[in-house]
Structure 1
Amino acid sequence: MKNFTIYLAVTLCLFLSRINAQETFEERAKSIASKIESITKDEKAALKTEVEAVNQQLINGTITKDEADSKKKKLAEARAINIESKVALAEEELKNLVQEKVDGKIKERDTTRTFKLEWNNKKKWKVKKEGESRTTSQFVFAAGFNNLVTNGAAANSDFRYWGSH
C-alpha cells in the first residue's frame, strides 16, 4: 500500500504539474503587437461612442452643427494623443525586447524536448567483484548418444545408434 501511494503521488506530480519556461522572442513580440492592436481598438471604440453622443446632442438640438464639429475634432485629438502615448509605451517595450535579443539576453527555444526521470539505483554504486566472470560468450558444440537398455544389455535393443530407418 505504501508503494502504491508513492507511485500515485509521483504520477500525479508528473501529469498535473506544469513547467513554464521563459517566453521566446517571437511569443513576446506577438503579445506586444496584440497589445498595440487592442489599445487602438479600445480607443477607437471609445471615440465612436463619444461621437455618437455628440451626434445625438446635435439631433436633439442642444448644440449646433459647428459646435458638434469642434467637439468631434477635440475628442478625436484627445483620443489620438491617448493612442500615441499608450502605443509609445508598447513600442518602447518592443524596442527593449529587440535590444535584449541583439545583446543575447534572450535565448532561443530548445527544440529538443527531453524528459528524464532517474531514481537512485544502488546497484550502480556497488563495487564489481574481483575474479572471473561466471558467464562467457564462447561457442560450445556438444553431441551425445542415448540408447535403451533392455534385458540388461544395450546391444540387443530394437533401436539403432546411427540409422534412422
Structure 2
Amino acid sequence: MPYIRYVHELSLQHLTELQHKYLNKHVYIVGISSEQNLQVVKKFVDSMGSQMDYTVAMDTGGEVEEGLIMKAGARGIPHAFVIDADNNITFSGHPMDPMFESALRTAAAAASDRGAGGPTGRQALPLVTASLDELLVMPVKALKLILTERGLPTSDCVEKADLAKKIAATCANVTYYK
C-alpha cells in the first residue's frame, strides 16, 4: 500500500506541475472523483494541500465513468485523458507517460492559436451563479433548458429540486459551449 500511495502522490504532484505550466495556455487539469460523498472528497483534497493544485470534480451521476472511462477501457487509477477544444480525445493513459505531456503541449498550441481556448465556432455559455434557493423558484422548463443547453441529461432528475441541485453542482464552475 505505501508504494501505491507514493505513486499516486507522484502523479498528483506531476499533474499540479503541469497545471501550473499550462494554465496560461488554456489547458486545464481536472481530477474527477467517483466518490459520492462531498466531505470525503474535500477532506482528501485539503489533506493534499499544494500537491494537488488543480480543479477536482465529482462524477456523482456516473456520466464520466460510463461515457469516458469505461469506453476507453481504463482499468485503474490514475488514468488521464487529454480532450482538445473540439472534444476529441488525443490521449488516454497514465499521467506519468511522456506522451501525456506531449498531448498537453499539442492541445496548448492549438488553444493558443485560437486565442480564447474555446471550441472553434462555439460560444461559451455563462456560468450559472444563482443560488440553490434562486434556482428553486425558477420554472422547471427554464431549469431543463439550462441543463440541455450544456448537453447535460435531465432524465435522471425526478423532481424540480433535482434539476436545481444538478445545476448548482455542475454549472457554476464549468464553462460549457454551444
Q: TM-score, normalised by structure 2?
A: 0.18
| Bigger Rg, structure 1 or 2 | 1
Q: TM-score, normalised by structure 1?
A: 0.19
Q: Which has the higher helix share?
A: 1
